[in-house]
Amino acid sequence: MFCWCFPGVSLVCILVSIAGKNVMLDCGMHMGYNDDRRFPDFSYITQNGRLTDFLDCVIISHFHLDHCGALPYFSEMVGYDGPIYMTHPTKAICPILLEDYRKITVDKKGETNFFTSQMIKDCMKKVVAVHLHQTVQVDEELEIKAYYAGHVLGAAMFQIRVGCESVVYTVTAWIDKCRPDLLITESTYATTIRDSKRCRERDFLKKVHETVERGGKVLIPVFALGRAQELCILLETFWERMNLKAPIYFSTGLTEKANHYYKLFITWTNQKIRKTFVQRNMFEFKHIKAFDRAFADNPGPMVVFATPGMLHAGQSLQIFRKWAGNEKNMVIMPGYCVQGTVGHKILSGQRKLEMEGRQILEVKMQVEYMSFSAHADAKGIMQLIRQAEPRNVLLVHGEAKKMEFLKQKIEQEFNVSCFMPANGETTTILTNPCIPVDISLGLLKRETAIGPAPDAKKPKLMHGSLLMKDNSFRLVSPEQALKELGLAEHQLRFTCRVHIQDPRKEHETGLRVYNHLKGAIQWWLHPPAGADVVQLEQGSWRRCSFL
């Protein structure tokens, strides 16, 4: 089994070769770059450019752009024309996020070498949507199955199986005991153990409340779907309970989209959301209104949810630039930010930022990081491995130093091999596939008769000839194998030359070796089947095996 991937939290693109089948897991985009580096370098996969011939399929785990953002580029500009699999919610939401990002990148920033709206539509026509627990037969040997992941709406972990070898790819800690040959898991929070969700929610509400009480503005950069809705519900409930008057705004149109897709795919949500939807429309907010860009200049306190979530472009970055110079204000980053984005810079402590046109922006507003990410933390990843019981683990979607720490911990605690390939590196993972074999009744009776009484708790070693027909195996007696193959009994001799350096004459050396072996090997003159002997032939010694 071979694995090749782009590491780091910036994007996810993994190639798995299993039993002769090639599967690409996710096709993400790096949002920290504004040039060709934003997309994976697909020349690593095959030099001749015929990706459709090389790949058996592509699987997308969920709709976040670092997992699906390069898909239209891959299919419409690079030329992949094979099957693409994702869940129904992911297929519905992907084109919306891709189009939103395309508008920011092309229409507003004027960048080139980017996919068009039509390319997004053409790409999605190639997608095959799958149901949970549906076994999809990609071809005669390769099958995939999706399981609920709970990461974001529509997220799934996928089990890939070829014969008796299997790989599980997951972005969360929710998994059954499946004992795969390889578990591929994200490691965004490889060294982080987060507080309980309730503590984080309490801290979040406290910081927002304190800021608006002192007359400040709160910016919460989010992505269109996912934790944005969770935080909106949290603030809506708190505002109602505390009878607060400061306005809360959400990016125009995103509330309507969220409402539509959460309704459409209600069965993919947790029990709490389903119950809330039955009682009322959970996105018909009393305190949260649609945002207009003119509101950013309004005096007084307010809270604004704006996209995108890493402050790399769009409305969230525009608002940040306006509010950054006021120390009363606060920006709360609720998720991870990749290197190269404004979000990553301010979380790293930078307070003077070089913006477009070489303008220097001084950041005086308070910067808070409060993780509401659905990615598993270090404790969750260890729990995931404990539940799945894989034979090997491969870490992706993380920072190298943190991944190295987690890798050592996994190997020590679970005694399994753990891998974290570098950019463009191929990792070979040895597997011990379990091959089912039918045993002939005659051989079974014979082996049982000559050996000790069978013990159901202990494996029994069986001797025979292994025959394969129509991709199935049978273990039969040598006599039956010869009969079925139409062969007469015969003997094979395998030889291996051994050169001996000895200052004596050749016949003296031969005599010494002969006498030594004669005493050491009792059956020197009449070797049984399977025995090793040594012969002197034309001045060279030869090790022989008789079968």
Per-residue pLDDT of the chain (547 residues; tens, 9 = 90+): 666 565 444 568 889 999 889 999 999 988 777 777 888 888 888 777 789 999 999 999 998 888 899 999 999 999 999 999 999 999 998 998 898 888 877 766 667 778 999 999 999 999 999 998 899 999 989 999 998 887 678 889 899 999 888 999 986 655 667 788 999 987 765 445 545 567 888 899 999 999 999 999 999 998 766 677 778 888 988 999 999 999 999 876 655 676 677 777 877 766 656 666 655 555 678 898 888 889 999 999 999 998 888 888 888 999 999 999 999 999 999 877 878 889 999 999 999 998 877 889 999 999 999 877 655 567 778 888 888 889 999 988 677 788 888 888 899 899 999 998 877 778 888 887 777 888 888 888 887 777 666 676 777 777 888 888 877 888 988 888 888 888 888 777 777 777 777 788 877 887 887 777 776 665 555 555 555 555 555 555 555 554 4
Question: pLDDT tens digits for 375-432?
Answer: 556 777 888 888 888 999 998 867 778 888 888 889 989 999 999 887 777 888 888 7
> Domain of 32?
2-193+374-428
Q: Are residues 47 and 182 in the same domain?
A: yes
Beta carbons of 247 and 302 less than 8 angstroms apart:
yes
Look at residue 146 in the predicted model and tell me its pLDDT: 92
Look at residue 503 in the predicted model and tell me its pLDDT: 83
Residue (of 323, 319, 317, 314) closest to 363 by Cα position? 323
Omega within 30 of 0 (cis) for the link into 299: no
For residue 317, the domain's CATH number is 3.40.50.10890
Question: pLDDT tens digits for 69-105?
Answer: 999 999 999 999 999 999 999 999 899 889 888 887 7
Look at residue 337 in the predicted model and tell me its pLDDT: 81
Q: Are residues 414 and 327 in the same domain?
A: no
284 within a domain of the structure (yes/no): yes
Q: Are residues 139 and 253 in the same domain?
A: no
Distance from C-alpha of 459 to C-alpha of 122, rounded to nearest angstrom: 55
Q: Are residues 173 and 216 in the same domain?
A: no
Task: Please list the residues that pair with 362 across neighbouring strands.
Answer: 352
Question: pLDDT tens digits for 327-349?
Answer: 999 999 987 787 888 999 999 99
Q: Are residues 161 and 301 in the same domain?
A: no
Q: Which of 350, 369, 388 is the last residue of a domain?
A: 369
Total-model pTM? 0.70
279 within a domain of the structure (yes/no): yes
Q: Are residues 340 and 252 in the same domain?
A: yes
Q: Are residues 221 and 349 in the same domain?
A: yes
For residue 30, the domain's CATH number is 3.60.15.10
Q: Are residues 153 and 222 in the same domain?
A: no
Distance from C-alpha of 458 to C-alpha of 448, rounded to nearest angstrom: 14
Residue (of 306, 202, 201, 290) closest to 247 by Cα position? 290
Domains in the chain, number: 2
Look at residue 508 in the predicted model and tell me its pLDDT: 82
505 within a domain of the structure (yes/no): no
Q: Are residues 386 and 351 in the same domain?
A: no
Q: Are residues 338 and 392 in the same domain?
A: no
471 within a domain of the structure (yes/no): no
Output the DSSP codes for 197-244. HHHHHHHHHHHHHHHHHTT-EEEEE--SSSHHHHHHHHHHHHHHHHT-
545 within a domain of the structure (yes/no): no
Measuring CA to CA, how many Å separate 345 from each of 66, 178, 227, 338, 515? 18, 40, 22, 9, 79
Q: Are residues 155 and 265 in the same domain?
A: no
Look at residue 319 in the predicted model and tell me its pLDDT: 95
Q: Which of 428, 444, 460 is the last residue of a domain?
A: 428
| % of the chain at pLDDT higher than 70 | 81
What are the residue numbers of the active site? Answer: 186
Look at residue 460 in the predicted model and tell me its pLDDT: 76
Q: Are residues 355 and 384 in the same domain?
A: no
